[in-house]
Amino acid sequence: MNSRLAEEGRRKVVLHLAGCKACREEMALLIKLKKNQEENLKEVPQEIKTSAFSQIPKKKTWQNVFQCLDPLYDAMKLVGMTVRFATELI
Ligand SMILES: [Zn+2]
């Protein structure tokens, strides 16, 4: 019974994705974030560990600040998309 419900859920999601560009974009972002996360799980080389702080740009330009905020921006975008995805499926 449980697997039948899961199957119907999957069908519903797949059908929705087929017709909804916004949710397909969310899916693409999820895959991208998952890939980033997996890459970040790899062991950080010692030379990066010891020099990472010295590689932070000394000159604080707005561009540098925004670059640092990129991962946060992606996360916020994902939260927004997930909420929309959930409300559309209800
Ligand atoms: Zn949608």
DSSP letter, residue 52: T
Whole-number Å distance, alpha carbon 27 to ligand 1 midpoint, is 10
Structure tokens, 24: 């397909």
Q: How confident is the model at residue 71 (pLDDT cuts 50, 70, 90)?
A: confident
Note the helical H segments in 2-61.
2-19, 21-41, 46-51
How many whole angstroms separate alpha carbon 74 and alpha carbon 32?
Answer: 10
Q: What is the pLDDT of residues 29-57, one digit of tens each?
A: 998 888 888 887 777 777 767 776 676 66
Cα dihedral 28, 78, 76, 60, rounded to 10, equals: -20
Q: Ligand 1: distance of its center to the CA of 1 in Å?
A: 27
Prediction pTM value: 0.40
CA of 42 to the centre of ligand 1 (A): 33
What are the structure tokens assigned to 3, written together?
Answer: 């697997």
What residue ranges do the domains of the chain occupy? Answer: 2-89
What pLDDT does residue 60 have? 65
Contacts of 23 (CB under 8 A, 6+ apart): 16, 17, 81, 84, 85, 88
